[in-house]
Amino acid sequence: MSSAYRILCLSHDPALTIETPDWNRPEHAEAAIRDGVDGHTDCDLMIGRYSYPLIAIGCPRTFDLPEHLRGTVLRCCHGSTQWIDKGWLLLLTAAYQSNDPAMRAAIEAGNHGCLPWERLRRLRVELGITVVGPEPYPSIGFVGEKP
């Protein structure tokens, strides 16, 4: 089954899908981000892989994202797109919002470079999740305004 690829802008809250041609290879989305997306050159962009619905999220090559995001919004650094399956996104989202001490310890211990809470929170519509808490982990990546 073939997949489709769209660019998501996480500088919007919630993230929005950028209108693009129908892409069936991730390289199309990667090239568009590398070349700069009209109106989104300063934005935090990710790639959605759809087999309708969404099945994975790709964090683009670090060098292709705006420099001002590095170290704040972006804690990650990689030379090619990092793909994260939706199942893991949902588990991580649940863990971020859990009050279970073991879950909180696991979250605090991890790096989660591509997926600080703020990025996951902004993907809530795309992921079909309900955000139940306010900023639960300011120390590991909550930036920006309150919900």
Give the footprint of Zn ion on this chain (CB under 5 A). Answer: 59, 76, 114
DSSP character at residue 139: G
CB of 95 to Zn ion, least distance (A): 18
Sign, CA torsion 36/41/42/48? negative
- Whether the CA torsion 26, 79, 138, 92 is positive or negative: it is positive
* Nearer CB in complex with Zn ion: 28/75: 75
Q: Which is nearer to Zn ion, 50 or 83 (CB)?
A: 83
Q: Edge-to-edge strands of the sheet including 82-85? A: 16-23, 4-9, 45-50, 54-59, 82-85
Nearer to Zn ion, 32 or 116 (CB): 116
Say whether 4 sits in a helix, a strand or coil.
strand
Shortest distance in whole angstroms from residue 132 CB to Zn ion = 25
Give the shortest CB-82-to-Zn ion separation in angstroms. 5
Nearer to Zn ion, 55 or 76 (CB): 76
Q: What distance in Å separates the CA atoms of residue 117 and residue 94, rounded to the nearest whole number?
A: 11
For the bound state, the minimum distance from the C-beta of residue 48 to Zn ion, rounded and expressed in Å, comes to 14
